[in-house]
Structure 1
């Protein structure tokens, strides 16, 4: 028997694409059991659209209109907290789910009881719903596995950067106690926080199959999540994630380690009851940093001197 499911949907002036997203949730091969929507004060037809779905599916939808604007992170916290079922899917207002997304996620949860949080790869689409042929950060696990058989996705989230988008996140309700309330930190998004804590506890998994369509709007630029599908972009991604050991790759990865180290300092302040695990991760980052610095100095002794002069001036070096 499948686990029961909730979907936490957050909306704000999303009339243009909202119906396509909700229809994709309703048309799943495995139906969801509950849809919780929190609207953050829309002034367009969003609320009207939501109520039309509520009228058609009164047993499925709960619509909550915020009295004041909570903004994305706290609005998702509210929506997630209102979910009552065993498995909670997060949903943006303008993406589209592949028709068997729920089925695939539930199959994985059923077969891997140790996993608490799942994210997946996804397609990019434009405002017209046309697929974008591009690389994305979500391709990194597959690219990494092709290079190293010892690759673990949690190492990317803990020691490089977050690759789990909220549009693909799903978690067991029992996991919420580890992440709720979300930190009230302007530079920290809920998807990053959930993925980091789940990885820290070794409860996170990433599905390589593309199970949703992520919409890139006309005013957005390619290069944030998606990158043109060519060798230059592939090399950029490999260097960013420490998969290439040339000078640019090593120096870029070393800077990335500095950034994630100080990001962990922030996590340490926000999540004191996981103090020991975060400290352990910081120690591992520091050891990896020293390893890569030594490698860079051995392979590129002259060029590395100029790099570390810059690092000192910009205070990028890891200092205890």
Structure 2
């Protein structure tokens, strides 16, 4: 029976964490060990976690935020398993979630990652909609034409991801000084560069939406003012991300992808801006969003 390490960051999750841990420990036909890094909870979260005596290891630490909390678990090489999964603190997993992922990954040679669809539900687990879908859904299925597309729009949700041992080995070979993007985006880009991503359109978990969500699955409409304000205040994440990827993996990245990352890393130089503005692969799902992307480049907010 395969061993799966489930990595979870907890923070003031007393309302739902018991149900989530229980659903993970009730996975069918897999040997599960949960590793929880508590990010400085001040409620009853730790007391609830302590009810689970077996198969749960908890690390109590100070608050560093979601990205770096998960980062601490990812690069903890004392955590060893055949496969690695990420978990939120407030969802509920179907009992076949991990088994389905492992069956898919068993056919993957080398670096591999599994991701799936999930149900968006309310606080009481009432169904709202699938997270990903066809036309009309807020989020289309995550399918990327090339590395540039994945780098710019990567949208695999961490609570569905399962990595094989080869993927974790590559990810752990380099640790950035701080997490530039969320852990799911980081590992997805790494796996896309060096291996294979399997996406399952079937739903195997319930993604709970409530007032305390760190990251939400529901897209709310924004006013023109809010959209403008978002652009003005946006931090240039892509440029920093490109620099970090080059620093950590330049000897392994495909030549064409590496050349493009160097262009992004040279921002805000005007030569780099011109190259990216006229790059036909630097685009989004609609003309409007593509224009916004190009404006961000011009404003050095890319």
> Do both share a fold (TM > 0.5)?
yes
From 106, 109, 114, the equivalent of 1:113 is 109
| 5+ residue gaps, structure 2 | 222-235, 265-271, 282-286
3-state SS of paired residue (2:118): strand
Alignment of 1:100-179 (within 5 A): 100-133=96-129, 136=132, 139-141=139-141, 152=145, 156-158=149-151, 160-179=152-171
Matched residues in 2 for 1:198 and 1:125: separation? Answer: 29
Alignment of 1:1-320 (within 5 A): 2-54=1-53, 58=54, 60-66=55-61, 68-80=62-74, 81=76, 82-133=78-129, 136=132, 139-141=139-141, 152=145, 156-158=149-151, 160-180=152-172, 182-185=175-178, 187-218=180-211, 225-227=217-219, 263-269=241-247, 271-274=249-252, 276-277=254-255, 278-280=257-259, 282=261, 290=278, 292=280, 314=299
Q: How many residues align?
A: 265
Matched residues in 2 for 1:76 and 1:119: separation? Answer: 18
The alpha carbon displacement at 1:280 in A equals 4.8
3-state SS of paired residue (2:85): strand
Whether the 8 Å CA contact 2:10–2:41 is kept in 1: the answer is yes
Cα separation, partners in 2 of 1:134 and 1:15, compared to 1, 3 Å: same
Whether the 8 Å CA contact 1:124–1:132 is kept in 2: the answer is yes
Residues 183-222 of structure 1, C-alpha deviation per residue, up to 9 Å, x if partnerless?
Answer: 2345422111100011011332222222222222236699
Matched residues in 2 for 1:316 and 1:15: separation? Answer: 37
Residues 33-58 of structure 1, C-alpha deviation per residue, up to 9 Å, x if partnerless?
Answer: 3222222222211111111111xxx3
Root-mean-square deviation (CA, aligned residues, Å) is 4.0
Normalised TM-score (structure 2): 0.71
Q: Which has the larger radius of gyration?
A: 1
Matched residues in 2 for 1:290 and 1:7: separation? Answer: 43
Between Structure 1 and Structure 2, the one with more helix by share is 1
Whether the 8 Å CA contact 2:14–2:48 is kept in 1: the answer is yes
Matched residues in 1 for 2:95 and 2:191: separation? Answer: 26
Whether the 8 Å CA contact 1:120–1:208 is kept in 2: the answer is yes
Matched residues in 2 for 1:65 and 1:75: separation? Answer: 11
